[in-house]
Amino acid sequence: MIQQLSVFLENNPGTLRAMTEILGIGGVDLLALSLADTQSFGIVRLIVSSEQMYTALGLLKDNGYIAKMNHVICACVPDRPMGLSELLSVIESAGLSVEYMYSFLRAYASGTALMILRMNDGNLAESVFSEKGIRMLSQEEIDSL
């Protein structure tokens, strides 16, 4: 699994820009980002290199954000029609469910898309993905992007 930051934001104009500005000024490079919102707040999910993880976490907390680190899977998906559907079929067949998912901002390899997945059972998902030949990136591989 790889590390992810989850940040709670008020659902007000400018809050996402302000948060990304704090990280940018602090030299944190965003590798992937997802934003989900409700009427009153949003949850931003971020992937940064492991060497910048604690810098990012510190910057966010020092500036009054509620942020925590958790673990997700980064799965390689063929970048073609049905690529994602095939991954989701493996997940469904194993009795797993996706809590949320988003794509990576950076290219990994030609013909490959990267999907970040939070699963109801991450350890089982890793085992199933491995058994089915679904490539998952390690934290070291993420750091090298």
Q: How many percent of the chain have pLDDT more than 70?
A: 97
111: alpha, beta or left, given left = phi > 0 and alpha = psi -120 to 50? left
123: alpha, beta or left, given left = phi > 0 and alpha = psi -120 to 50? alpha
Cα(7)–Cα(66) distance, integer angstroms: 6
Q: What confidence tens digit (pLDDT) does each residue in 4-53 have? A: 999 999 988 899 999 999 999 999 999 999 999 878 899 999 999 999 99
Domains of the chain (ranges plus CATH)?
A: 2-70 (3.30.2130.10), 71-143 (3.30.2130.10)
123 CA to centre of own chain: 16
Given a contact cutoff of 8 angstroms between Cβ atoms, the answer to whether 136 and 73 are in contact is yes
Q: Which residue from 44, 102, 51, 52 is spatially nearest to 72, judged by alpha carbons?
A: 102
Question: What is the predicted pLDDT for the residue at 105?
Answer: 64
pTM for the complete prediction?
A: 0.83
Q: What confidence tens digit (pLDDT) does each residue in 38-47 have? A: 788 999 999 9
